[in-house]
Amino acid sequence: MARDAASWTDPNCPVARAVDVIGDRWSLLIVRDAMDGARSFTDFQQRTGIARNILADRLRKLVDHGLIAQVEAPSGKRRVYTLTAVGKDLFPVIVTLRQWGERHAFEAGETRSVLVDEHGAVVPQVVAVAADGRPLTSETTSVRKFG
Query: What CA–CA distance (Å, rounded) separates 122 from 147?
Result: 40
- Pick one of DNA, a copy of itself, none as the site partner of residue 4 (Cβ within 5 to 8 A by kind): none
Query: What CA–CA distance (Å, rounded) separates 41 from 146?
Result: 40
Query: What CA–CA distance (Å, rounded) separates 111 from 134?
Result: 33
> Of 37 and 77, which has the nearer Cβ to a copy of itself?
37
Region class of 121: left (phi > 0), else alpha (psi between -120 and 50), else beta: beta
Query: What CA–CA distance (Å, rounded) separates 114 from 84?
Result: 24
Query: What CA–CA distance (Å, rounded) separates 146 from 72?
Result: 41
- Pick one of a copy of itself, DNA, none as the site partner of residue 36 (Cβ within 5 to 8 A by kind): a copy of itself
- Pick one of a copy of itself, DNA, none as the site partner of residue 71 (Cβ within 5 to 8 A by kind): none
Residues near DNA, by CB under 7 A: 1-3, 24-26, 40-43, 50-54, 56, 58-60, 70, 78-81
The distance of closest approach from Cβ of residue 58 to DNA in the complex, given in angstroms and rounded to an integer, is 7
> Of 77 and 135, which has the nearer Cβ to a copy of itself?
135
The distance of closest approach from Cβ of residue 142 to DNA in the complex, given in angstroms and rounded to an integer, is 22
- Pick one of a copy of itself, DNA, none as the site partner of residue 52 (Cβ within 5 to 8 A by kind): DNA
The distance of closest approach from Cβ of residue 116 to DNA in the complex, given in angstroms and rounded to an integer, is 28
Residue 129 bridge partners (DSSP): 135
